Structure 1
Amino acid sequence: MKKVLFTLIILFSLNNFAQNTPEKELGVWYMYNGSHQISNKFSLKTMAHFRFFEIGDDMQQFIGRLGANYKINNNMSATLGYSYLNTDGTFGFDGGNINEHRIYEDFNLKHKINALGFAHRLRAEQRFFNSETGHFLRYQIALNYPLDNKWSTYLYNETFLDFNGEAFNQNWLGAGLKYKLSKVVKLQAGYQRISVNNGGDFNRIQLGIAISTDHRKKAKI
């Protein structure tokens, strides 16, 4: 009964997002996320996102990310990484595409209450583009609930603070489903509502694949 109730909450949230879409077109993010264990304490985090204004058309942004993660204990870890972004110049900028470089530092904490998993991430970002530098602080809380051995649901919220402009920059609220294809591969489908400080709202479908490998032994996908 609890699993059915949690699934209904997720589906109700997604339905509300879709009904309140202020944009004429619905955007989509195609996402790859990777975790590659290289020792008992260290792993590499990889990511590539292709973000579109519309489904399959008019790309808004490409972002690639690489980070080194250190496991403090079973519940805490820290990450230091680099991101590269190429953003359509019509999205908040004038002129051609914007190339941006970021350095980021994460502190990650996870815990459980019964079967409900909690994940907290505090991220500091230093952004460099067009000879300008930005400093951001981001906090994300994510919930994950298993429906069975293959399926799980998730819900998250992430708030961005900008130290160079207005304190509040934007907020991401999302929910969806994950499917465990194998020990290595998981698939994801969800919905995200982006609210920015100028009052604008953006709605995005998220379609993703996550790959987790352990290089301490031969992994098979």
Structure 2
Amino acid sequence: MKNRPTLILLAWVLLAPALLLNTASAQTTERIKDHNTNGWYMYFGDHKVADRWGIHAEVQLRRHNTIKNPQQLLFRTGVNYDLTPTAMFTLGYGFIETHPYGDYPAAGTFPEQRIYEQLQLKGNIARVGLSHRYRLEQRWVKQPGAADYTYLNRARYMIKATLPLVGPSLEPKEPFLAAYDEVFVGFGENVKQNIFDQNRAYVALGYKISNSSSLELGYLNQIVQKANGVVFEHNHTLQVSFFHTLNFAKQD
């Protein structure tokens, strides 16, 4: 298989951070592991409204115990601008409501409001499609019982790979494999013990429904360091994602 070395390298890049974090936490006896089983059911839409401009729309219903109990509800929107055919900048807003879950839950349900700036780059290595996502977040979190919001900064980087399973390129009505790794880092005066915020490692089977839509069914291994720096969540998550694009721009 001509692309085997490339795929092995990509697999290591995508999955090594999660493996290293698991090893580190196992070697530090004072850290507490909190294992959970979750389900995330998500819609992602990027809809073009002009030659270079578009709108991002996103809804995520996140459930604890796969589907039984609430975990989070996330709404995210933004304005997209195509810098080049392979680079897109987004400025957006998100609202997140988090519910208590797990063996070390929050004291109650709490909201978060967020502004973010994002750069996405796309390319490929042979048959493997690659995307890089760089995101900065300005977060206002109101902890349970608090009178005011706490301001936090966070940086995120994600690399995602997709591999067609039928031909040299991904066409409608064809399956594909997808994998990504995303690392989160907090910074600023209000970030205490958890400068490392979380890591997400993901693998999925996808299906390209049409030129404008695709579906992914996958497994997400999410490691979250709680604010106290002691409790580490290991969230084993079923992830169902629907991606959709529409073009409202005038066609010449």
Which TM-score band (shorter chain)? 0.7 to 0.9
Residues 1:48 and 2:59 aligned together: yes
Q: Identify the match of residue 97 of structure 1 among 98, 109, 115.
A: 109
In terms of Rg, which structure is larger? Answer: 2
1:32-77 C-alpha deviation (Å, 9 max, x unpaired): 1111011121111111000011122101000010011111101211
Structure-1 residue corresponding to 2:130: 118
The structure-2 alpha-carbon separation of the partners of 1:187 and 1:100, relative to structure 1 and needing over 3 Å to count, comes to same
**Structure 2 partner of 1:141:** 159
Counterparts of 2:219 and 2:67 in 1: how far apart (Å)? 16
The counterpart of 2:235, out of the listed 197, 202, 211, is 202
1:26 Cα shift? 2.6
Query: What amino acid maps onto 1:189 in structure 2?
Result: L
CA contact (8 A) 1:27 1:55 kept: yes
Matched, 1:162 2:186: yes
Give the corresponding residue for 1:39.
50
Report the CA distance shift for 1:73/1:24 in structure 2 as closer, same or farther (over 3 A): closer
Cα distance in 2 for residues equivalent to 1:74 and 1:96: 44
Cα deviation code 1:74-94 (max 9, x no counterpart): 121111000011110456664
Shift of 1:185: 2.3
C-alpha separation in 1, matches of 2:180 and 2:245: 21
Q: How far apart are 1:183 and its partner, in Å?
A: 2.3
The answer to whether the Cα contact below 8 Å between 1:3 and 1:147 also exists between their aligned partners in 2 is no
Question: Distance between the aligned counterparts of 2:163 and 2:65, measured in 1?
Answer: 30
Please, what is the CA RMSD of the aligned residues?
2.6
User: By how many angstroms is 1:200 displaced?
Assistant: 2.8
Once residues 235 and 216 of structure 2 are traced to their aligned partners in structure 1, the CA distance between those partners, rounded to angstroms, is 20
The aligned residue for residue 203 of structure 2 is: 175
Name the CA distance, whole Å, in 2 between partners of 1:28 and 1:76: 31
Indicate if the aligned counterparts of 1:28 and 1:56 stay in contact, CA closer than 8 A.
Answer: yes
Cα drift, residue 216 of structure 1: 2.0
- 3-state DSSP of counterpart to 1:96: coil
Q: Aligned equivalents of 2:64 and 2:101: distance in 1?
A: 11
Once residues 94 and 173 of structure 1 are traced to their aligned partners in structure 2, the CA distance between those partners, rounded to angstroms, is: 24
Corresponding residue for residue 108 of structure 1: 120
Change in CA separation of 1:100 and 1:159 when aligned onto 2, cut-off 3 Å: same
- Structure 1: segments with no counterpart, 5+ residues: none
- For the residues of structure 1 that align with 2:197 and 2:2, how far apart are their CA atoms? 35
Quote the sequence identity (%): 28
Residues 23, 203 of structure 1: 8 Å contact kept:
no
Q: Amino acid of the residue matched to residue 180 of structure 2?
A: Y
Query: Structure 1 stretch 180-189 or stretch 58-67: which is displaced more?
Result: 180-189
1:189 maps to 217
Match of residue 86 from structure 1:
97
Report if the CA contact (8 A) 2:47-2:246 is conserved.
Answer: yes
Q: Distance in 1 between matches of 2:66 and 2:180?
A: 23
Residue 120 of structure 1 and its aligned partner are, at CA, apart by 0.7
Q: Distance in 1 between matches of 2:233 and 2:66?
A: 20
Equivalent pair of 2:154/2:186 in contact (CA under 8 Å): yes
